[in-house]
């Protein structure tokens, strides 16, 4: 009998509880901003998880963030099957609202096809007797768009019942569905390189626009200067000698 394929997962966002979802032995608490890799199994299914605590940290430089993105993908060679965007149920912070856009900018638009939103603290919905569908329906438009941009893929995790492996098994099934929908492909370094090339192209376009704008401004200043000099020449007899 063929052994099941190892699932390769990237955790992005609030990963405090996300780390412990997949492994019977919790990850050690991270105090670093660098990518960390851990592995374990879920009901006999091998799983490798890379946590990205500092991937979108404002204190990191652009080069450091790029380095972390490359490392994140290389740690899960040949590439991750899924990006898990971990969000707590409740009001989204401005940073969280921008997370998917940051993922797009960092990993390219293709990354949407490999993304599931993991909603933690699902037990709060149970306490208020609100279904996840009702919660989404009553949420801000920005959150609805976030769900929509990820193809409507989400999973609710009950933190109160962390020991329940059934909710983790259900998430694994959803990840398997993504893998199937993507033709068995994972997110690769080539896709990251394409994303980086697209970013570089956009940077070059913006720089070119800035250069053209500055050129137009210089030409406008020169034109105004020439007109002013003509007026001065016409009005001042000294210039007419």
Half-sphere exposure of 11 (CA within 13 A, CB side): 29
Taking only the tens place, the pLDDT of each residue in 69-83 is 778 878 888 888 898
Cβ neighbours around 43 below 10 Å, total = 10
Residue 36 burial by Cβ neighbours in a 10 Å radius (0-12, 13-18, 19+)? middle
pLDDT at 158 over 50: yes
Q: So what's the pLDDT on residue 153?
A: 92
Most confident of 41-50, 60-69, 159-168, 198-207: 41-50
pLDDT at 14 over 80: no
Taking only the tens place, the pLDDT of each residue in 94-130 is 777 777 777 777 777 778 888 999 888 888 887 888 8
pLDDT at 179 over 80: yes
Higher pLDDT, 142 or 109: 142
Higher pLDDT, 108 or 202: 108
Rounded alpha-carbon distances, angstroms, from residue 36 to 27, 69, 177, 235: 10, 12, 26, 75
Higher pLDDT, 233 or 143: 143
Strand order across the beta sheet in which 36-42 lies: 36-42, 45-51, 7-13, 82-88, 115-120, 154-156
Select from 92, 101, 91, 86 the least CA-distant residue to 159.
86
Cα 229 → chain centroid = 55
Q: So what's the pLDDT on residue 26?
A: 47
Cα Rg of the chain (Å, integer):
26
The CA distance from 61 to 229, in Å, is: 48
Per DSSP, what are the bridge partners of residue 189?
none
Per-residue pLDDT averaged across 48-66, rounded? Answer: 73
Structure tokens at 96: 């969280």
State phi, psi for 51 to the nearest 5 degrees.
-95, 140
Cβ neighbours around 57 below 10 Å, total = 12
β-bridge pairing 7-13 and 36-42: unpaired
**Alpha-carbon torsion angle 93, 113, 46, 117, nearest 10:** 20
pLDDT-based confidence at residue 198 (cuts at 50, 70, 90): low
């Amino acid at each position: 009998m063929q052994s099941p394929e190892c699932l390769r997962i990237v955790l992005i966002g609030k990963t405090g509880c996300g780390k412990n979802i997949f492994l019977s032995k919790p990850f050690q608490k991270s105090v670093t901003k660098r990518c960390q890799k851990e592995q374990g199994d879920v009901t006999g299914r091998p799983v490798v998880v890379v946590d990205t605590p500092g991937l979108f940290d404002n204190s990191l430089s652009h080069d450091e963030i790029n380095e972390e993105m490359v490392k994140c993908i290389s740690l899960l060679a040949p590439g991750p099957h899924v990006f898990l965007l971990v969000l707590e149920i409740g009001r989204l912070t401005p940073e969280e609202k921008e997370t998917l856009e940051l993922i797009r900018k960092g990993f390219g638009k293709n990354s949407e096809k490999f993304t599931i939103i993991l909603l933690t603290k699902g037990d709060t919905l149970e306490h208020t007797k609100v279904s996840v569908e009702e919660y989404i329906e009553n949420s801000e438009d920005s959150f609805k768009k976030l769900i929509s941009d990820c193809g409507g893929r989400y999973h609710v995790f009950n933190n109160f019942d962390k020991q329940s492996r059934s909710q983790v098994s259900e998430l694994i099934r959803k990840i398997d569905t993504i893998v199937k929908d993507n033709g068995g492909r994972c997110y690769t370094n080539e896709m990251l390189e394409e994303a980086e090339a697209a970013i570089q192209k956009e940077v070059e376009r913006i720089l070119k626009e800035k250069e053209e704008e500055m050129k137009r401004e210089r030409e406008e200043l020169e034109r105004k200067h020439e007109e002013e000099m003509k007026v001065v020449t016409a009005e001042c007899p000294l210039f007419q000698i």
